[in-house]
């Protein structure tokens, strides 16, 4: 089954304790992205990757790091989480093989609470 | 600066009637528009899209209309069904699949 998986689904942590949210896709997609969803703000892009070892900032990258060492994985790293990073996070992937399809496939989400 | 805006946070529609969800954008470089549907505790799923070279695209009960001069798009659902109750996001792209800009979302409730 084609899918994007994220782990963990739920996480409660404390300020300053480093954490990693994993994302994996099995569709051989070149593009992967991280978004955060906040009330009244919709989905905002944090970072994206166009292929292995190629990453770039989205609209709200501050406080986050990413890496893309393998095509299927795109982990999101919070080196020193703060309460304003409490949010619902989504990983997504898509392909550039179809020039007319911009559909992104989303994971189920990770709800992060930083106290 | 919100480049894609959905000004109605919520919408309630009777089952069987038409649901119309609206979206406005400010960036004239956007050339591709999508609608996503999101159920609680799930990720958004793709619903329908439209290229800027078109003004209408249909897929079953779902139709998206694009008015480029007004920088406005809308999603029509006819007839509305209880399973359509969800949050709907519009999204836009300026020439790349990797970078979508999303609106705030509209929560649609279909009443029996």
**pLDDT for B73-112, tens place per residue?**
999 999 999 999 999 999 998 877 677 899 999 999 999 9
Q: In the predicted model, is pLDDT for residue A103 greater than 90? A: no
Is A61 an 8 Å CB contact of chain B? no
* A5 CB within 8 Å of a chain B CB: no
Q: How far is A74 from chain B (nearest CA, A)?
A: 14
Average of per-residue pLDDT across A89-114: 86
Residues in chain A: 115
For the cut 80, the answer to whether the pLDDT of residue A4 exceeds it is: yes
Question: Residue B94: what pLDDT?
Answer: 87
The mean pLDDT of A3-21, rounded to a whole number, is 97
Contact A32, A52 (CB under 8 A): no
3-state DSSP assignment of residue B88: strand
In chain B, residues with a C-beta closer than 8 Å to the C-beta of A101 are 49, 97
């Amino acid at each position: 089954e084609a899918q994007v998986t994220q782990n963990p689904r739920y996480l409660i942590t404390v300020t300053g304790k480093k954490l990693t949210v994993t994302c994996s896709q099995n569709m051989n997609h070149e593009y992967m992205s991280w978004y955060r969803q906040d009330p009244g703000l919709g989905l905002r892009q944090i970072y994206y990757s166009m292929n292995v070892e190629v990453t770039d900032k989205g609209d709200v990258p501050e406080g986050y790091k990413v890496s893309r060492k393998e095509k299927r994985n795109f982990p999101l790293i919070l080196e020193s989480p703060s309460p304003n990073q409490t949010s619902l996070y989504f990983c997504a992937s898509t392909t550039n093989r179809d020039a007319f399809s911009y559909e992104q496939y989303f994971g189920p989400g990770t709800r992060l609470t930083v106290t | 600066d919100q480049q894609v805006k959905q000004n109605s946070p919520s919408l309630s529609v009777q089952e069987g009637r038409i649901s119309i969800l609206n979206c406005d954008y400010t960036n004239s470089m956007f050339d591709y528009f999508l609608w996503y549907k999101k159920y609680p505790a799930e990720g958004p799923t793709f619903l329908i899209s439209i290229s800027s070279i078109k003004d209408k695209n249909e897929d079953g009960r779902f139709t998206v209309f694009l008015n480029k001069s007004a920088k406005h798009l809308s999603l029509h659902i006819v007839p509305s069904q209880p399973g359509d109750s969800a949050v709907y996001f519009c999204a836009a792209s300026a020439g790349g699949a990797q970078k979508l800009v999303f609106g705030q979302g509209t929560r649609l409730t279909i009443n029996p």
